[in-house]
Amino acid sequence: MTTHIPTLNISQFINGSPTQKTEFAKNLGKSFEEIGFAVLSGHPISLEKQQNAYRVINDFFQLPVEAKKKYEVAGIGGARGYTGFGKEHAKDSKVGDLKEFFHIGIDLPKGHPQETHPDFPPNVSVKELPEFDPTLKDLWKDLYQLSQHVLSAIAIHLDLPANWFHQYTEFGNHVLRPIHYPPLTGNETPKAIRAGAHEDINLITLLIGASNPGLQAKNRKGEWVSITAKPSEIVINAGDMLQRLTNRQFVSTTHQVVNPEHKTGAKSETRFSVPFFVHPISEMNLEALPQCVSASNPVKDPPILAGDFLNQRLREIGLK
């Protein structure tokens, strides 16, 4: 089943008039309230830059397993570097996902107070591929800048100052995650799929690669619906942290990546996607905003610091 996920032209917010900015914020807010997802067109990240990123990502995942394992860092919950095939699982599942991935995080300025914080380990450099680090760090910066426009629109919709999220996200623990879903062999663990049903932990996610089939979201009727976008477009969705802040006014929608349909004698295809997870600083209190609380809509989730919530969820999905 497919469903209509609104496509919003973010250039109207970045370069538009005050009226256009307000209209974009209204439409984005409505989409996050009703569906939890939207598709962005008109953003400044070129298709060529996205394709170049996929080229270096493919080069990395084609390395021998032993070469990739050199970039797996023990004891940090997969926060940086490589995480091997099948290690992550959905919160309520013990079956590992049919994927492997790599994490690139923020490069904090020298001397920044959080430089030695355990939640901010240093990035891992891939020695075999000279283009890997600069290409993906450049994409990280572009997606961070785009995320700030999205958060500004969300703030406006919530009657907050346009820059309200900036104080919490300027040095947030944002993570770029290139994901590789290898071709299926037919010998997978029963019930294992490429990404089990889950909700994202963070504030918002920006996803490159939803033009490939497989991504599904669960609608309010409990039906799984397919989400696709044009190759140049970026899918965005609300995460659990934003859902808590808005007292569930915004929906952190359950989603999954299903296995391709098997055809006799046919080999399934490799699939890549690149989500960018926008996290606030660890000290941000995920307490329901006053404007999202009323007598008819009392507080639904207790306050918790973003860092504590993140570590709790990482334990639930098997990374810590």
DSSP string, 159-217: TS-TTTTHHHHTT---EE--EEEPPP-S-PPTT--SEEEE--SSSEEEEE-TTSTTEEE
Measured between alpha carbons, how far is 126 from 137 in angstroms, rounded to an integer?
12
Q: Domain with 102 in it: what CATH number?
A: 2.60.120.330
How many residues are there in the chain? 320
- The pLDDT confidence band at residue 7, using thresholds 50, 70 and 90, is very high
Check residue 295 and report its DSSP letter: S
Which phi and psi (to 5°) does residue 7 adopt?
Answer: -100, 120
**Residue 277, CA distances (Å) to 103, 115, 127, 204, 274 in order:** 10, 19, 25, 6, 10
Q: Is residue 1 part of a domain?
A: no
Q: For position 264, what pLDDT does the model report?
A: 45
pLDDT at 222: 86
What pLDDT score was predicted for residue 1? Answer: 38
- Would you say 284 and 310 are in contact if contact means Cβ atoms under 8 Å apart? no
In a domain, 230, yes or no: yes
- With pLDDT > 70 as the criterion, what percentage of the chain qualifies? 96
Distance in angstroms (rounded) separating the CA atoms of residues 271 and 261: 13
Beta strands 7-9 and 37-41, pairing class: parallel
Domain tally, the chain: 1
- Does 2 reside within a domain? no
Rounded-to-integer distance, Cα 146 and Cα 227, Å? 21
Tell me: pLDDT of 32 over 70: yes
Comparing 8-17, 38-47, 213-222, which segment has the lowest mean pLDDT? 213-222
Determine, yes or no, domain membership for 140: yes
Query: Is a pLDDT exceeding 70 seen at residue 307?
Result: yes
pLDDT of residue 228: 87
Identify the pLDDT of residue 313.
86
Q: Is 186 within a domain?
A: yes
Condensed to tens digits (0 to 9), the pLDDT of residues 117-169 reads 888 999 999 999 999 999 999 999 999 999 999 999 999 999 999 999 999 99
Q: What is the pLDDT of residues 236-279, one digit of tens each?
A: 999 999 999 999 999 999 999 998 876 544 456 889 999 999 99
Q: Helices 132-157 and 47-61 sit at what angle, rounded to 10 degrees?
A: 130
For residue 61, pLDDT over 70 is answered with: yes
Q: Are 16 and 152 in contact (CB under 8 A)?
A: no
Question: How far, in Å, are 1, 193, 227 from residue 223 at the CA level?
Answer: 8, 17, 13
| pLDDT the model gives residue 188 | 83
> What was the pLDDT predicted at 238?
97
pLDDT class of 3 with cuts at 50, 70, 90: low
- Looking at the chain, the whole-number percentage of residues with pLDDT higher than 90 is 72
Most distant CA atoms of the chain, gap in Å: 60
Helices 132-157, 18-34: axis angle to 10 degrees equals 90
Which domain does 80 fall in, by range? 7-316
Q: Whole-number mean pLDDT of the chain?
A: 92
Q: What's the distance, CA 164 to chain centroid?
A: 21
